[in-house]
Amino acid sequence: MKQDGFEDIGLAKIDTDRKNRTGVGEIIFGQGKTAEQMDKIVRTMKEKGQDSILITRLDAEKAGKLEASLKPDFSLKYFSDARIGVIGEFSTSRSSDVENAKILICCAGTSDLPVAEETALTLEFLGNKVERMYDVGVAGIHRLLSYQEKLKNASVIIAIAGMEGALASVVGGLVSCPVIAVPTSVGYGASFGGLAALLSMLNSCASGVTVVNIDNGFGAAMAADKIMRLTEK
């Protein structure tokens, strides 16, 4: 750990050592930051040599402002579904190595799509290949069961669901690979903003399922990426 591995710009201390330490460079958490603040952070990161920058939880309005303020120096690509902004290129260096390592992203319903896309785009940004398997919730379990071959061949599965989040347990009981569960805030009433799905996934009877925060597609992607890197060593 290099104790001088950061750049202090007052409102932020850019962690220039992060890639060295954790394998992935600094990523910007867009929520609660102004476009002006993000503009300064992006410019510092670029100066310090980070080519590709991911911004998560970036709403459309701020994305527009940031895109405008970064011009003409840098261009921001915005993915509204996933609320993600990207400056620079997606990583491709690792993608040929992971040819046969499939990360499978399952989600229970169409309403879970924003979280699923945040997951997928983050993984692709980091150079992973992913397969999307959307709307395979347990209310029509034959949909999921018809893909047993794909489930068996996956290296990592990310199971995304709101409401009662039962998808994670069912997937967890069918496969031998690591399963990362993402509860979503899809639902109403006693879903309590995703709490029902979160508790459900934490109590999964299928052993070995691990869980991230509600709607945290980004976190699940980071965890899956770390597992994939391990298999490449």
Query: Smallest distance, Å, CB 72 to a copy of itself?
Result: 25
Residue 175 sits in the site that holds a copy of itself (CB under 8 A): yes
Residues 106-135 that bind a copy of itself (CB under 8 A): 108-113, 132, 134-135
Contact segment (CB under 8 A) with a copy of itself among 42-50, 63-71, 89-97, 205-213 equals 205-213
Contact 49, 87 (CB under 8 A): no
Residue 225 sits in the site that holds a copy of itself (CB under 8 A): yes
Residues 65-84 that bind a copy of itself (CB under 8 A): none
Residue 216 sits in the site that holds a copy of itself (CB under 8 A): yes
Among the listed residues 63, 105, 119, 218, the single contact to a copy of itself using CB under 8 A: 218
Q: How many residues does the chain have?
A: 233
Contacts for 228 with CB less than 8 Å, ≥ 6 apart: 98, 101, 103, 128, 155, 156
In the bound state with a copy of itself, the residue whose beta carbon lies nearer, of 5 and 74, is 5
Draw the binding track, 20-59, toward a copy of itself (x: CB under 8 A; -: no contact): -xxxx--x-x-xxx---x---x---------------x--
Q: Give the type of residue at 208.
A: G
Residue 191 sits in the site that holds a copy of itself (CB under 8 A): yes
Residue 146 sits in the site that holds a copy of itself (CB under 8 A): yes
Specify the DSSP element, H or E, that contains 143: helix 141-145
Q: Give the type of residue at 204.
A: S
In the bound state with a copy of itself, the residue whose beta carbon lies nearer, of 128 and 200, is 200
Contact 171, 203 (CB under 8 A): no
DSSP 115-142: HHHHHHHHHHHTT--EEEEE---GGGHH
Question: What is the four-CA torsion angle of 86, 87, 93, 99, rounded to 10 degrees?
Answer: 20
- Which pair of structure tokens corresponds to residue 66? 């940031």
